[in-house]
Amino acid sequence: MSVDLYSQRVLELAADIPHIGKLTQADGYARKLSRLCGSTIEIEVCLDNGVVSQAAIEPKACALGQASASILMRHLVGARLEEIVQARDQFKAMLKSGGAPPLGRFWELRYLESVKDYPPRHTSALLPFEAAVAAVLDAMHTKGIKQNA
């Protein structure tokens, strides 16, 4: 069985990550590290009424982590914590237990479905979404927004 882990679409996404850099002022920040591969993701966000209004990312990751970061950053502005958590959890289920790909704003994660056959790569693919959840939670804390979950 031959799986195309680095499909043309994965490579296109990895090469085109929006919102790279830093924000001038952020409400929340997170840095996540994969001890297995050394990938790091840093994300800054601003919230407006519980919705991500600005975001910036500093990815130092493999092509799979970069593709995941690209998908995240294409759709993070306008998202609420619940949507990001749901996408992360559906993405994790897709990789680890054969779940369906996420729907909604993060539907492009389906392009990373082949990663499920490579368990050591799961962490690097999930890292951007783990960082986004942590950054939004940090911003909610900073702004005194109560978490529903």
- pLDDT digit string (tens) for 84-122? 999 999 999 999 999 999 999 999 999 999 999 999 999
pTM: 0.94
What are the structural domain ranges in the chain?
A: 8-140
- Band of pLDDT at residue 1, cut at 50, 70 and 90: very low
Question: Range with the lowest mean pLDDT among 2-11, 22-31, 114-123, 130-139?
Answer: 2-11
DSSP string for residues in the chain: ----TT-HHHHHHHT--TTBS--SS-SEEEEEE-TTT--EEEEEEEEETTEEEEEEEEEE--HHHHHHHHHHHHH-TT-BHHHHHHHHHHHHHHHHH-PPPP-GGGGGGGGGGGGGG-GGGHHHHHHHHHHHHHHHHHHHHHHTPPP--
**Of 147 and 134, the one with more pLDDT:** 134
Any idea which fold 8-140 has? Sufe protein. Chain: A (3.90.1010)
Q: State the pLDDT at residue 114.
A: 94
